Amino acid sequence: MHKGYLCLVLHAHLPFVRHPEEEDFLEENWLYEAITETYIPLIQIFEKLIEDRVDFRITMSLTPTLASMLQDELLQDRYIRHINKLIELADKEVQRTGYDPKFHGLALMYYRKFIEAKEVFSDRYKKDLVSAFRKFQDLGYVEILASCATHGFLPILSVNSTDAEAQVKIGVEHYKKTFGRNPLGFWLPECGYTPGVDNFLAEAGIKYFFVDTHGIVNADPTPKYSVYAPLYCPTGVAAFGRDTESSKQVWSSKEGYPGDPDYREYYRDIGYELEYDYIKPYIHPIGFRINTGLKYWRITGNTDHKEPYVPEWAKEKAATHAANFMFNREKQIEHIAYHMDRKPMIISPYDAELFGHWWFEGPMWIDFLIRKIAYDQKTIKLATPSDYLKEYPTNQMSVPSTSTWGYKGYNEVWLEGSNDWIYRHLHVAGERMKELAEKFSNSKDNRVKHALIV
Least confidently predicted of 119-123, 294-298, 422-426: 422-426
Which residue type occupies 203?
A: E
Residue 11 and residue 347 in contact, taking contact as beta carbons nearer than 8 Å = no
pLDDT tops 50 at residue 452: no
pLDDT of residue 448: 41
Asked whether the bond before 41 is cis by omega within 30 degrees of 0, the reply is no
Residue 406 and residue 190 in contact, taking contact as beta carbons nearer than 8 Å = yes
Q: Using pLDDT thresholds of 50, 70 and 90, give the confidence band for residue 449.
A: very low
Q: What is the CA radius of gyration of the chain?
A: 23
Percent of the chain topping pLDDT 90? 91
pLDDT tops 80 at residue 323: yes
4-71+128-264+309-415 adopts what CATH topology? 7-stranded beta/alpha barrel (3.20.110)
Least confidently predicted of 21-25, 52-56, 347-351: 21-25
Residue 9 and residue 143 in contact, taking contact as beta carbons nearer than 8 Å = no
**If 0-12 CB within 10 Å is exposed, 13-18 middle and 19+ buried, where does residue 202 land?**
middle
Most trustworthy range by pLDDT among 249-258, 318-327, 407-416, 424-433: 318-327
Torsion of CA 220, 226, 228, 234, to 10 degrees: -10
pLDDT digits (tens, 9 = 90+) for 48-74: 999 999 999 999 999 999 999 999 999
Residue 160 and residue 202 in contact, taking contact as beta carbons nearer than 8 Å = no
Residue 351 and residue 30 in contact, taking contact as beta carbons nearer than 8 Å = no
pLDDT of residue 253: 67
Please state, in angstroms and rounded to a whole number, the distance separating the CA atoms of residues 334 and 193: 30
What's the residue count for the chain? 454
Helices (H) and strands (E) in the chain, counts: 18, 9
Q: Using pLDDT thresholds of 50, 70 and 90, give the confidence band for residue 438.
A: confident
pLDDT tops 50 at residue 344: yes
pLDDT tops 90 at residue 131: yes
pLDDT of residue 46: 98
* Other CB atoms within 10 Å distance of the CB of residue 154: 23
Please state, in angstroms and rounded to a whole number, the distance separating the CA atoms of residues 106 and 108: 5
3-state percent helix, strand, coil for the chain, nearest multiple of 5 = 50, 10, 35
Please state, in angstroms and rounded to a whole number, the distance separating the CA atoms of residues 291 and 270: 7
pLDDT of residue 447: 46
Long-range CB pairs of 310-313, under 8 A, 24+ apart, other chains included: 310/262, 311/105, 311/106, 311/109, 313/262
pLDDT tops 80 at residue 238: yes
Query: Average of pLDDT values for 331-337?
Result: 97
Residue 130 and residue 178 in contact, taking contact as beta carbons nearer than 8 Å = yes
pLDDT digits (tens, 9 = 90+) for 379-421: 999 999 999 999 999 999 999 999 999 999 999 999 999 999 9
pLDDT of residue 440: 83
Confirm whether pTM is higher than 0.75.
yes
Mean residue pLDDT across the chain: 95
pLDDT of residue 454: 43
Residue 150 and residue 16 in contact, taking contact as beta carbons nearer than 8 Å = yes
pLDDT digits (tens, 9 = 90+) for 271-305: 999 999 999 999 999 989 999 999 999 999 999 99
Q: Using pLDDT thresholds of 50, 70 and 90, give the confidence band for residue 444.
A: low
- Domains of the chain, by residue range, sit at 4-71+128-264+309-415, 424-453
pLDDT digits (tens, 9 = 90+) for 133-178: 999 999 999 999 999 999 999 999 988 899 999 999 999 999 999 9
